[in-house]
């Protein structure tokens, strides 16, 4: 990666570069298993964080912060939070799916090289309402863009990332000493892996399947039937 990457001259990427972008998108996985014991080189982590920091943000607010978590004891305490939260979630799962839920691998907190908590500082743009006046959630959405940038860059580097969402936010705040004005948006397990699964784990395990895109495309209004030619092309290319 160049030290100071630039936007370029407006030309589209060549075919090799386009293929690489789409490969990262289509082969990205929410990794829970297959983490290796290998440490993650700081130069690689730095590249991923730089990619995240170049995410789009409404009003150029850049509301994100990145908490790198390596300490084994702290990570074990986070895992304890996960286990408690999973038990709280279980009763809300349909009875016929609870056995499958218990078998799902839903985190790699202690197995991965490190953990990363990405937060949103909600005070960072309080004096600049650009883009937030009518939608105050845009700082949170912008932070999610940073998560996606990090994730795709990680896939290009051969690094696995798993998003752990089954956590009690208040307990996580206390453990990581996150102040009230910052919101923990994503808790990620990060590290090298032995493989990337050909399909998302939840699809392979029968929890869900990818929806048919053409059923989700509408035209002009939410109830618009969608453009037939576009939907046909999507079905053909999917």
For 52-112, the three-class secondary structure string (H helix, E strand, C coil) is HHCCCCHHHCCCEEEEEECCHHHHHHHHHHHHHHHHHHHHHCCHHHHHHHHHCCCCCCCCC
Global pTM value: 0.93
Query: Which pLDDT score, from 0 to 100, does residue 223 have?
Result: 94
Q: Return the CATH class of domain 23-200.
A: alpha beta
Supply 206's token pair: 């029968």
Domain residue limits, the chain: 23-200, 208-238
Phi first, then psi, for residue 219 (nearest 5°) are -130, 130
Q: What is the pLDDT of residue 45?
A: 98
* CA dihedral over 218, 221, 225, 226, signed as positive or negative: negative
The residue to which tokens 């009518």 are assigned: 134
Q: What is d(CA 129, CA 143) in angstroms, rounded to the nearest whole number?
A: 16
Please check whether residue 50 is in contact with residue 3, taking contact to mean a CB–CB distance below 8 angstroms.
no
In this predicted structure, what is the pLDDT of residue 235?
96
Residue 160 CA to residue 112 CA, distance in Å, equals: 9
CA–CA dist 226, 26 (Å, integer): 24
Q: Return the pLDDT at 130.
A: 84
φ/ψ of residue 200, rounded to 5: -55, 140
Per-residue pLDDT of the chain (238 residues; tens, 9 = 90+): 655 566 667 789 999 999 999 999 999 999 999 999 999 999 999 999 999 999 999 999 999 999 999 999 999 999 999 999 999 999 999 999 999 999 999 999 999 999 999 999 999 877 777 878 889 999 999 999 999 999 999 999 999 999 999 999 999 999 999 999 999 999 999 999 999 999 999 999 999 999 999 999 999 999 999 999 999 999 999 8
Distance CA 223, CA 194 (A): 45
Tell me what pLDDT residue 1 has.
61
């Amino acid at each position: 990666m160049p030290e100071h990457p630039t936007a370029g001259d407006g030309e589209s990427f060549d075919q090799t570069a386009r293929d690489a972008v789409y490969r990262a998108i289509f082969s990205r996985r929410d990794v829970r298993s297959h983490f290796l014991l290998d440490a993650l080189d700081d130069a690689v982590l730095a590249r991923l964080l730089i990619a995240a920091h170049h995410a789009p943000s409404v009003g150029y607010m850049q509301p994100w912060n990145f908490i790198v978590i390596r300490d084994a004891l702290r990570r074990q305490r986070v895992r304890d939070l996960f286990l408690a939260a999973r038990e709280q979630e279980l009763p809300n799962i349909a009875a016929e799916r609870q056995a499958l839920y218990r078998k799902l691998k839903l985190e790699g907190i202690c197995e991965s090289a490190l953990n990363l908590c990405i937060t949103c500082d909600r005070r960072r743009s309080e004096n600049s309402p650009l883009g937030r006046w009518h939608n105050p959630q845009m700082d949170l959405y912008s932070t999610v863009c940073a998560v996606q940038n990090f994730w795709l860059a990680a896939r290009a580097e051969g690094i696995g990332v798993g998003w752990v969402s089954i956590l009690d936010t208040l307990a996580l705040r206390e453990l990581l000493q996150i102040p009230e004005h910052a919101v923990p948006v994503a808790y990620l397990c990060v590290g090298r892996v032995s493989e990337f699964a050909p399909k998302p784990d939840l699809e392979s395990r029968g929890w869900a399947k990818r929806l048919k895109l053409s059923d989700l495309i509408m035209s002009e209004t939410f109830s618009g039937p969608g453009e037939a030619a576009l939907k046909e092309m999507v079905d053909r290319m999917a």
